[in-house]
Every structure is written in structure tokens, then in C-alpha cells.
Amino acid sequence: MFRLITGRPGPSGFGSASTAEQVTHDIDGSNLTAIVTGGASGIGLETARVLAMRNVHVIIAARNMEAANKAKQCILNDNKNARVDVEKLDLSSIRSVKTFADNFKALDLPLNILINNAGIMFCPFQLSEDGVEMQFATNHLGHFYLTNLLLDKMKETAKSSGIEGRIVNLSSVAHICPYKGGIRFQKINQKNSYQNKLAYAQSKLANILHANELSRRLQVIN
């Protein structure tokens, strides 16, 4: 926690004060393709910008296509040689996630990096079109399903290219303070006990558990 607050570098030489450009210095991603969910703004946009700067082919996956196209143009204004495409993705909708995955596969592109970045936080209680509490649906279930749909593509890319892929789940230190007892699987949609900050933390804890289990299973495969 001290390093997080102060930005003091860790064993890697980087810390919370390090910029994306510093971390990726001297990296050439010309042979890489990455999907960045929520790449139209905030951390996602900065991630997409710097990956494109390092010659990675970036797919910005976003719910708001107007914002996504503006983000693409912003990147191209700074880097006319950037390879950036946009695809519609609403992570709160299982139907939209499936459509996005199908559309991406139809492009017949490799997939080296999947950055599950998009998310919402502290919103009032509401259900997704699939009947799931919105923060849990968007922050966790959408990314969980997307990852499962694209995992075989990533394995194929790694096998054919010889380059090990990466799946990144963006979480938050808030994961340490969800509802008492952790994830309330039996009460995800319970409105009368809903607390927006705890529900957000619950979804972030789910992100970390998902990442940990993915790491365990993929290491076994390798």
C-alpha cells in the first residue's frame, strides 16, 4: 500500500507513478493485436493510445460508438501510422458480447492481448437486459463471457505465432471491501440490501478471482 501511494518502484523498476509510455519504452508491438474494452475514454483510451504508439494493432471495444470513433481520430491525429479499429460492445448485454466476439472472429485477425478494462462504478440499483445487477453484469459477467468466447482464438494465435498471449483484468483496490463474506452469489439482484460501493467492490473482487483462476488453468495447460 505504501508503494501504491508513494509511487515507489517495485522489483520491476516501475511503480504506480510510472506512465504507460515509460513501461513500454523500446517495445515494438508490430506483430501484436490487442482488444481494449472501454478504450474510448479514461484508462482505456490511454492504454489504446500507447499500444498504438508501440505499433500494436488496437481494437477499441466500446458501447458508445461516437466516443470510440473520436478516440480513434484522436490517436490518429498524434500518430498517423497507428492501426486502430473500433467495434461496438456493451458488456452489460450477453447478446452484445456474443455479437462482438463473432464480429471480431470474422475479421480473421490474431489476438495476442485482451485487456478487460471497461467498467461502471457506484451506480444506482438497476438490472441489465439479462436481469443481472448492472455493476456485476458489466464489470464481471460481460468480461468473463467475452474472455471465454475469445480464449480459443488467443490459444490459436499463441500456437501459430510462438508468442505467449496476455489477458489483463483491470480491478481496483476496492476489491478488499465488498459485502461481508465476499461475493453474495445468492443475493446479486437483491435490491433492498443493495449498496452501490459494496456492489462495485464485489464486482472488482470477481475480476481478481477470475484472473487468478485463469492463471491457474492456463499454467496447467502449458
**Which sequence spans correspond to the domains of the chain?**
25-221
Examine the pLDDT at 154 and tell me if it is beyond 80.
yes
Local confidence band at 171 (pLDDT 50, 70, 90 cut-offs): confident
Give the CATH fold of the 25-221 domain: Rossmann fold (3.40.50)
d(CA 103, CA 97): 10
CB of 201 within 8 A of CB of 121?
no
φ/ψ of 58, rounded to 5, equals: -105, 130
Q: What is the mean pLDDT of residues 16-31?
A: 93
Res 2: pLDDT: 61
pLDDT exceeds cutoff 90 at 181: no
Confidence of residue 103 (pLDDT cuts 50, 70, 90): very high
**Alpha-helix residue ranges (DSSP H) falling in the chain:** 2-6, 20-23, 42-53, 65-78, 94-106, 134-136, 142-161, 196-221
pLDDT value, residue 220: 57
Mean pLDDT for the chain?
93
Q: How confident is the model at residue 100 (pLDDT cuts 50, 70, 90)?
A: very high
pLDDT at 5: 66
Q: Residues 205-221: pLDDT tens digits?
A: 999 999 999 999 998 55
pLDDT band with cut points at 50, 70 and 90 for residue 98: very high
Task: With 0.95 as the threshold, say if the pTM is over it.
Answer: no
88-97 pLDDT tens trace: 999 999 999 9
Catalytic residues: 194
Per-residue pLDDT, averaged over 176-187, amounts to 86
Alpha helices per DSSP H over 14-64: 20-23, 42-53
Q: Is residue 12 scored above 90 in pLDDT?
A: no
Q: Does residue 174 surpass a pLDDT of 80?
A: no
Indicate the Cα dihedral angle 92, 95, 100, 103, nearest 10°. Answer: -170
What is the C-alpha separation between 36 and 57, in angstroms, rounded?
11
pLDDT category of residue 3 using cuts at 50, 70 and 90: low
Confidence of residue 202 (pLDDT cuts 50, 70, 90): very high
The mean per-residue pLDDT over the stretch 112-129 comes to 97
Determine the pLDDT at residue 1: 59
pLDDT for position 222: 54
